[in-house]
Structure 1
Amino acid sequence: MTDSTTMVERLLGENGKLSMVAAGVLLGEGQGGSPIHPTTVTRWCLKGVRVNGAKLKLEHLRAGGKLLTTRAAIVRFLAAQTDAPEPVSAPRTPTQRRRAAEHAEAELEKLGV
């Protein structure tokens, strides 16, 4: 079986298929106090979001031109974003390394080492 077939079977096995509108309502209020807009949920399905440099998409089904997802898929999508470790900080530039070394050397000289 392909990955998409496995995902479809898993989503079909989960109770409560949700339209993009229903998914937005389930997610609660966004900015301005209104539910998350259906196009936002659609964008999460089709384009995804960046999490630590990788693209994460909301699992969905396409049935007759309509996108559907499940509550469990939304939970997995949000958990993957919430549990994601902080991005790794950029390495120091040569100038930053040199200045840190000079500072450490000055501290050692001050201590008499």
Structure 2
Amino acid sequence: MDNGRSKIKYREIVKLFSDCRIKQIGLFFLCAIAVSSELYLVYQIKGLIDCLSAQNYDLFIILIRRVFLTAIFAFVFTILQTKQWHTFRAELINKMRVKMYKKC
């Protein structure tokens, strides 16, 4: 019986936020790009350390540039993700506040 009640509550919550679905999906992809770029940066730093230990300095310069560009890319997408996340959160809070006041 409790499982049925939780499904009903879940459906009600989904209905409340159904108009935000496109923003949720966009935010999901933005978060995925930000996390993937940060993980790729760690992978590039590993290659940079391997290059230093092998004393391959020609490849080291190329990898430094790649790490720098990847770091800038990751930084920009992390900033965008944070901004979009907080904007989305504020919109949802305001939307819930308006719905709460309409019920009163």
Question: What TM-score, normalized to structure 2?
Answer: 0.30
- Between structure 1 and structure 2, the one with the greater Rg is 1
Higher strand share: 1
Higher helix share: 2
